[in-house]
């Protein structure tokens, strides 16, 4: 058998990334603390952000960065402190009008009202309207559909031929899951991916649509979904999300922008996160051949591996809050209006809470002890759906092939929010 | 030590003995009682330790806190006697406590 991960080309790639990491470590531990800015997407592209968080966890767990592309912000990097912020929604607000939930402030001229970026009581009302879609009974129905569709994707993959796993598998599976959730016109399902990408794209980066273009595209998205809404509001209630929103008293009178906001939330919430977990899992197994072997020996480990993939990937590197009043956090004085960033990606590697946190271990005793879904009232609505999707992926893969090889280091996304992969070339040995 | 009985949605009973001070969620996890997830480790932050308190015991288990109330907003099948098991700590007074579990924690 041919193991690409051990091939000379890979050895060179590994050496390069080791050198980069060593340089980053040197920099992270020697630079003045107040100059550290972990919000820079560039360090996420080459995966060298890790030592900066290690330094912050050790030397400045509640850290103030006075100058960044996104303005001044606090970083919270330890597991326990993140939990404290996440569970204190009375002080730490998610409100879009105060800037919302990412280190980049929401665009003032075009605020999409969505419940992830609202505080109680409005958040609670809207969340309750959407959550039945992922209730156990409905998940069981979805599981059958999602599995059938996943099987088709896997059955059509090329053997012994390099292909891009991100595009052919991760994006396709996730798009199909979302299309299933919305009962979206099947042939047009890639529109969902497109809108999600547009909604999360940084309008200031060259090559991306600018603010105005972005608004135009998102309004087209609204138009499309409004047509679906009109169709379904006049039909009997069904189990898809649009029908649910159209018939629920809490959501049926939503203003158009609010409807758009909640749609985008569901698309974005389920899209990049699940996609990048699907890619990440395969990468981690290639990086850890002993774990891959353990999995081949015992397929039941999928159960505990799935949450471990989600911890290890941390598909959303952070969530942000805005302080509603002066408060003390870990000895630091946070002022009303300050931006507070909870770095889940750091908390998930906090050795004081998680044993051997830098290791990918597929049979941990308490694999769900991680921050990737957030905690508190905004804890991910889709968390069991995401796990189900990954469980299906790995069960179906193991049924078919003992090994899928990653052929070269993946191309990573340039963002300190969506942590993921643009491209990852793989081959299924035949 | 105090005794707690967990009753699954399908009626299966699990009796366990735990040290006082331990939460009812931990009592289940430590003894591998199925039906309680406890994702957040007892921080009142995930609502996957939802239980129904046997009416006889309700007066002794106290009131929901504000945060517990907020988290229960999003649990499935919440009833007036719903509580989060991580927010109830065993005491000698609670020796013999009976709690029921929902179909599922999601
Ligand atoms: C591995 C996959 C996923 C990860 C890592 C993830 C992560 C997160 C995180 C961190 C939050 C918390 C936000 C906060 O505290 O401010 C969140 C909220 C949310 N997620 Fe997910 N998510 C995933 C999959 C999904 C899926 C599949 C869906 C959709 C169906 C979804 C829908 C949502 C929604 C609607 C919210 C808002 C909840 C609220 O504000 O109450 N997510 N997600
Ligand atoms: S264990 Fe999370 S709320 Fe009780």
Long-range contacts, stretch A153-156, CB < 8 angstroms, 24+ apart: A154/A396, A154/A397, A154/A400
Assigned token pair, A257: 């922008």
Q: pLDDT at position A198, please?
A: 87
Average pLDDT value for residue range B75-92: 94
CATH topology of domain A8-427: Cytochrome p450 (1.10.630)
- Farthest CA pair distance, chain A: 64
pLDDT at B56: 93
Low-confidence ranges of chain A (pLDDT < 70): 1-8
Determine how many CB atoms are found less than 10 A away from the CB of residue A156: 9
Domain ranges, ordered by start, for chain A: 8-427
Mutation target to probe the A interface, by most A beta carbons within 10 A, among B26, B37, B40, B86 is B40
Q: Which residues of A touch B71 (CB under 8 A)?
A: 376-377
**Helix A289-297, helix A256-287: angle, nearest 10:** 100
ipTM of this predicted structure: 0.92
pLDDT of residue A62: 98
Distance from CA of A395 to the nearest CA of B (A): 22
In this prediction, residue B6 has a pLDDT band, given cuts at 50, 70 and 90, of: very high
B2-100: CATH topology = Ubiquitin-like (UB roll) (3.10.20)
Amino acid A257: pLDDT: 80
d(CA A151, CA A218): 32
Residue A367 sits at φ, ψ, to 5 deg, of: -70, -20
Best mutation target, A78, A80, A87, to test chain B (most B CBs within 10 A): A87
For the CA of A265, the nearest atom of ligand 1: 35
What is the pLDDT at residue A20? Answer: 93
* CB-nearest partner of B76 from A135, A368, A383: A135
The model's pTM is 0.94
A375:B37 CB<8 A:
no
Chain B interface includes A14 (CB < 8 A): no
pLDDT beyond 50 at B69: yes
Residue B40 CA, closest ligand 2 atom number: 2
Specify the pLDDT at position A1.
33
B14-26 pLDDT, tens digit per residue, is 999 999 999 999 9
Q: CB within 6 Å of ligand 1 — which residues?
A: A 94, 101, 115-116, 127, 265-266, 269-270, 273-274, 277, 310, 315-316, 319, 372-374, 378, 380-382, 385-386
Distance from the Cα of residue A144 to its chain's centroid: 24
- Size of chain A in residues: 430
How confident is the prediction for chain B on average, in pLDDT? 94
Q: What is the pLDDT of residue A4?
A: 57
Percentage helix, strand, coil for chain B under 3-state DSSP, each rounded to 5: 25, 25, 55
What HEC string does B37-73 produce? CCCCCCCCCCCCCEEEECCCCHHHHCCCCHHHHHHHC
CA A409 centroid distance within chain: 20
Q: How many residues comprise chain B? A: 106
Closest listed residue to residue A309, CA positions, set A274, A347, A266? A274
What distance in angstroms lies between residue A209's CA and the mean position of ligand 1's atoms? 25
Instruction: Give residue A383 CA to ligand 1 midpoint distance, Å.
Output: 7
Nearest CA in chain A to B42: A369
Indicate the domain borders of chain B: 2-100
């Amino acid at each position: 058998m041919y193991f690409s991960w051990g091939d000379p080309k890979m050895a060179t790639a590994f050496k390069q990334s080791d050198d980069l990491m060593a340089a980053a470590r040197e920099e992270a531990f020697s630079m003045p603390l107040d100059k550290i800015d972990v919000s820079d997407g560039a360090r996420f592209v080459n995966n060298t952000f890790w030592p900066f968080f290690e330094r912050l966890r050790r030397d400045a767990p509640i850290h103030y960065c006075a100058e960044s592309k996104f303005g001044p912000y606090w970083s919270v990097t330890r597991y326990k402190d993140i939990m404290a912020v996440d569970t204190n929604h009375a002080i730490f607000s998610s409100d879009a009008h105060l800037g919302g939930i990412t280190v980049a402030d929401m665009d003032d001229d075009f605020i999409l009202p969505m419940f992830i970026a609202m505080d109680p009581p409005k958040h609670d009302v809207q969340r309750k309207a959407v959550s039945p879609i992922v209730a156990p009974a409905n998940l069981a129905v979805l599981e059958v559909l999602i599995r059938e569709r996943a099987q088709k994707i896997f059955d059509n993959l090329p053997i012994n031929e390099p292909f891009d796993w991100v595009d052919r598998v991760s994006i396709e599976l996730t798009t199909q899951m979302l299309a299933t959730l919305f009962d979206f016109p099947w042939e047009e399902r890639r529109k969902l991916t497109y809108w999600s990408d547009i909604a999360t794209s940084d309008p200031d980066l060259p090559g991306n649509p600018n603010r105005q273009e972005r608004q135009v595209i998102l309004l087209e998205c609204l138009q499309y979904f409004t047509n679906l809404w009109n169709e379904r509001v006049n039909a009997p209630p069904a189990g898809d999300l649009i029908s649910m929103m159209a018939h629920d008293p809490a959501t049926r009178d939503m203003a158009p922008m609010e409807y758009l906001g909640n749609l985008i939330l569901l698309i974005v919430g389920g899209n990049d996160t699940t996609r990048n977990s699907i890619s990440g899992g395969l990468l981690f197994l290639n990086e850890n051949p002993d774990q891959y072997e353990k999995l081949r020996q015992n397929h039941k480990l999928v159960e505990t591996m799935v949450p471990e993939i989600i911890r290890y990937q941390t598909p959303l590197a952070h969530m942000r809050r805005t302080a509603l009043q002066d408060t003390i956090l870990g000895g630091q004085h946070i002022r009303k209006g300050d931006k507070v960033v909870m770095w889940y990606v750091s908390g998930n590697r906090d050795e004081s809470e998680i044993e051997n946190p830098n290791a990918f271990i597929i049979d941990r005793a308490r694999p769900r002890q991680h921050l990737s879904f957030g905690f508190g009232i905004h804890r991910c609505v889709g968390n069991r759906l995401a796990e189900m999707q990954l469980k299906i992926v790995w069960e179906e893969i193991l049924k078919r092939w003992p090994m899928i090889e990653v052929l070269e280091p993946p191309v990573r996304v340039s963002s300190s929010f969506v942590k993921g992969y643009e491209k990852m070339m793989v081959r299924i040995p035949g | 030590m105090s005794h707690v009985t967990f009753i699954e949605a399908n009626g299966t009973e699990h009796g366990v003995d735990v040290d006082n001070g331990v939460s009812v969620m931990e009592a289940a996890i430590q003894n591998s009682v199925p039906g309680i997830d406890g994702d957040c480790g007892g921080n009142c932050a995930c609502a996957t330790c939802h239980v129904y308190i046997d009416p006889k015991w309700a007066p002794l288990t106290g009131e929901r806190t504000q945060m517990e109330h907020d988290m229960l907003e999003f649990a499935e099948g919440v009833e007036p006697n719903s509580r989060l098991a991580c927010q109830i700590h065993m005491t000698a007074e609670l020796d013999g406590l009976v709690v029921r579990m929902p179909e599922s924690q999601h």
